[in-house]
Amino acid sequence: MKRAYKLEIKPTDRQSEKLIRTFGVCRYVYNMYIATNRFNYEEGRNYQKNIVNVLVKTKPTFITLEDLNVRGMMKNRHLSKAIAKQGFFHFRTKLQMKCEEYGIELRLVNRFYTSSKLCSCCGHKKVDLTLKNRVYECVNCHAVLDRDLNASINLKQATQYELLVSV
């Protein structure tokens, strides 16, 4: 059973002046924190909106997204804050709405598709690729590409996908 006690504090004039000054500083810091977070939140939404507009206004025939295991990525305590700030769900819904509006096909590739482990030139699968390796070097055809560029080329060439928006 929890108990609550009421306690009355009767500070001296000097103590009350110090308390007011301290709480004033705390209030100022709190308000600055709220203002900064509100600004970052709104900037993040505007950033997503701008990226979606730039993507859609180039008028591609299709856009391919990779289905990510966000819940699994959030378990990584080093990356979870950065991943949460990205707002993947909002980005996907905004992109989906814009693709419907502009008549662009939106494809969703399965999360188990190995886009970063496949060579975009010859199709050879590199099994021992870790997150540390930022450059993809194919042992079969000796192609050297940035890992993200290689994955994006593989996503463009993907044949098995789900249509989120069809034309």
- For 18-75, the pLDDT digits (tens) are 766 666 666 666 666 677 667 766 666 678 888 888 889 988 999 998 888 888 888 8
| Distance (Å, whole) CA 76 – CA 71 | 10
The reported pLDDT for the residue numbered 129 is: 85
Strand partners, 16: none
Structure tokens at 144: 């050297």
Supply the mean pLDDT for the chain.
83
Place of tokens 């662009």: 104
Q: What residues contact 137, with CB distance under 8 A and at least 6 apart?
A: 143, 144
List the one residue out of 95, 83, 12, 116 whose CA is nearest residue 52: 95
Share of the chain above pLDDT 70, in %: 81
Q: Which residue type is seen at 62?
A: F
What pLDDT band is residue 98 in, cutting at 50, 70 and 90?
very high
- The whole-angstrom separation of Cα 157 and Cα 80 is 30
pLDDT tens readout for residues 77-93: 888 888 887 888 888 89
Count helices and strands (H / E) in the chain. 5, 5
Environment class of residue 136 by beta-carbon count within 10 Å: exposed (0-12), middle (13-18) or buried (19+)?
A: buried
pLDDT computed for residue 85 by the predictor: 78
**Closest by Cα among 97, 110, 95 to 63:** 95
Candidates 106, 117, 123; CA nearest to 65 is 106
